[in-house]
Amino acid sequence: MKTMLENARAVKGQIACLTEQQKNDGLFAMADALLAAQAAILEANAQDLEAAKGTVSDVMLDRLSLSPARIAAMAEGIRQVAALPDPVGRVLEETIRADGLKIQKISVPMGVIAIIYESRPNVTSDAAALALKSGNVCILRGGKEAFRSANAIVRALREGLKKVGIPENAVNLVQDTSRESATALMTANGYVDLLIPRGGAGLIQACVRTATVPCIETGTGICHVYVEKTADLSMAVNIVENAKTSRPSVCNAEEVLLVDRAIAGKFLPMLQQRIGDRVEFRLDPEAAAIIPGTPAGERDFDTEFLDYILAVKCVEDVREAVAHIAAHSTGHSEAIVTQSKEAEQMFTSLVDSAAVYVNASTRFTDGGEFGLGCEMGISTQRLHARGPMGLRELTTYKYIIHGNGHVR
């Protein structure tokens, strides 16, 4: 680990000074190398899947699984990052004083970014691409379930960088998946300039509690959809179905449904007919009197299920919905389905989450969907970055001041 940290720090100046063309050449080479190594990556992934069977849910196995189509999508994601504007060297602000002193605020790379993540192999290529394009070095520390897959991916990416003369140590994978290696990254002061945890609540809270390097809190998604009494109920059923069932294992999937009691008697049976064969409902007493399901437990409105489970609660109005979200949300994504401008305004003004939707599924909270290419994670905090973290969120800034003999 110490050698890897030293190697990463040693090349961060070279990576920060790469031109936009050099970075793009590296990204295209990484994408090509990923496709060329498809057979080796799939073989490694098959070993990961075999080892994980019986220890994780089918939903989590899907997150871990790779296919030729998914590898092609990973390569295309890298190319999309190459097509985005360079985030480095932008003049964010400029002031020219009366005495002619020019003060510029310029975007610059963070330096060395460490990413600790769990079982999604595609995060490996996404993170490497975003780091390179933003002029940063990355140290990746994946979970043990996906280690073979991530290792094969990183070998390919480093081979691509080597072909175009970019230091391979721009992209690094920690070979040790023990807790000790994670703690070492969290406390690598002087080596790691930014730590981004990407995974479940346990991982993220461990990083927030332990890290002595700058850390961005990301990802845990207890996402709510609120169906207000004026909602188009057919639209609401479609939105809830998509938010819950399209891919329940991701952080932007819906975990909690709030329904105005004025329409619950009509809406909940419609929803039960649509998704009741696929989704287990955890119901508060009012909802349980309308549709079949499991009584909601004490923690069901505070749980990121990442599965075909949906907690359901009846509320009086938008104010009670907002109060419930304030008490139980992780600040990720919330949605209201409504035809009332007044309810829309109150919801969007009072809900304090990174992404707030009106008549749309929470599943759009994603770097690609937001036009950022891919993302490094979804920040649920307020400082520096919030929501999907793309290229600009992986830069900081410094002031460059031009004078002509100015003295104070």
Q: Which residue has better confidence, 70 or 217?
A: 70
b/e code 157-182 from CB counts within 10 Å (16+ = b): bbbbbeeeebbbbbbbbbeebeeebb
- Residues facing residue 171 across a β-bridge: 138
The residues, ordered by sequence, that sit 6+ positions from 196 with a Cβ below 8 Å of its Cβ are 113, 114, 115, 116, 215, 216, 218, 376, 377, 389
Q: Which two tokens stand for residue 400?
A: 């460059």
Nearest CA to 48 out of 116, 142, 158, 174 is that of 142
Q: Which two tokens stand for residue 42?
A: 């799939």
Q: What is the pLDDT of residue 219?
A: 67
Cα 124 from Cα 141, distance rounded (Å): 9
Spatial contact of 94 and 103, defined as CB atoms under 8 Å apart: yes
Q: Could you please report the per-residue DSSP string of 365-407?
A: -STTTTTSSS-S-EE-SSSS--EE--SGGGEEEEEEEE-SS--
* Orientation angle between helical segments 38-52 and 20-36, nearest 10 degrees: 70
What ranges do the domains of the chain cover?
2-216+389-402, 223-364
Q: Which residue has better confidence, 168 or 179?
A: 168
With a cut of 90, say whether residue 118 has pLDDT above it: no
With a cut of 70, say whether residue 208 has pLDDT above it: yes
Which pTM was predicted? 0.83
Q: What SS3 state is found at 336?
A: strand
Nearest CA to 310 out of 257, 259, 261, 265 is that of 257
Give the model's confidence band at 404: pLDDT under 50 very low, under 70 low, under 90 confident, else very high. Answer: very high
pLDDT tens, position by position, 15-55: 999 999 999 999 999 999 999 999 999 999 999 999 988 88
Nearest CA to 114 out of 220, 18, 187, 219 is that of 187
With a cut of 90, say whether residue 220 has pLDDT above it: no
What average pLDDT does this structure show over 166-185?
94
Can you say how many angstroms the Cα of residue 389 is from the centroid of all Cα atoms in its chain? 7
The residues, ordered by sequence, that sit 6+ positions from 239 with a Cβ below 8 Å of its Cβ are 225, 335, 337, 359, 360, 361
85 class by beta-carbon count within 10 Å (0-12 exposed, 13-18 middle, 19+ buried): exposed
The residues, ordered by sequence, that sit 6+ positions from 108 with a Cβ below 8 Å of its Cβ are 16, 88, 89, 135, 395, 396, 397, 398
pLDDT tens, position by position, 243-277: 999 999 888 999 999 999 999 999 999 999 999 99
Q: What is the pLDDT of residue 188?
A: 96
Please give the CATH number for the structural domain made up of 223-364. 3.40.309.10
With a cut of 90, say whether residue 189 has pLDDT above it: yes
Spatial contact of 179 and 158, defined as CB atoms under 8 Å apart: no
Please give the CATH number for the structural domain made up of 2-216+389-402. 3.40.605.10
What average pLDDT does this structure show over 107-111?
97
Q: What is the pLDDT of residue 54?
A: 84
Cα 286 from Cα 283, distance rounded (Å): 8
Q: What SS3 state is found at 136?
A: coil
pLDDT tens, position by position, 286-342: 999 999 999 999 899 999 998 999 999 999 999 999 999 999 999 999 999 999 999
Helices marked H in 17-120 — which ranges?
20-36, 38-52, 58-64, 68-83
CA dihedral for 233, 236, 240, 241, sign (positive or negative): positive
- Residues facing residue 402 across a β-bridge: 102
b/e code 342-372 from CB counts within 10 Å (16+ = b): ebbebbeeebebbbbbeebbbbbbbbbeeeb
Mean pLDDT of the chain: 94
Spatial contact of 110 and 132, defined as CB atoms under 8 Å apart: no
List Cα–Cα distances, 140 to 70, 137, 171, 262, 408, in angstroms: 20, 10, 8, 50, 46
Q: What is the pLDDT of residue 202?
A: 78
Q: What is the pLDDT of residue 16?
A: 97
Q: What is the pLDDT of residue 299?
A: 95
What average pLDDT does this structure show over 393-401?
95
Give the model's confidence band at 3: pLDDT under 50 very low, under 70 low, under 90 confident, else very high. Answer: very high
With a cut of 90, say whether residue 213 has pLDDT above it: yes
Strand ranges of the sheet holding 137-141, from the earlier edge strand across to the other edge: 171-173, 137-141, 112-117, 194-198
With a cut of 80, say whether residue 57 has pLDDT above it: no
Give the model's confidence band at 218: pLDDT under 50 very low, under 70 low, under 90 confident, else very high. Answer: confident
Q: Which two tokens stand for residue 41?
A: 């990556």
Q: What is the pLDDT of residue 24?
A: 98
Q: Which two tokens stand for residue 318?
A: 């938008």
Spatial contact of 331 and 219, defined as CB atoms under 8 Å apart: no
Dihedral of CA atoms 57, 62, 66, 67 in degrees, nearest 10, equals 130
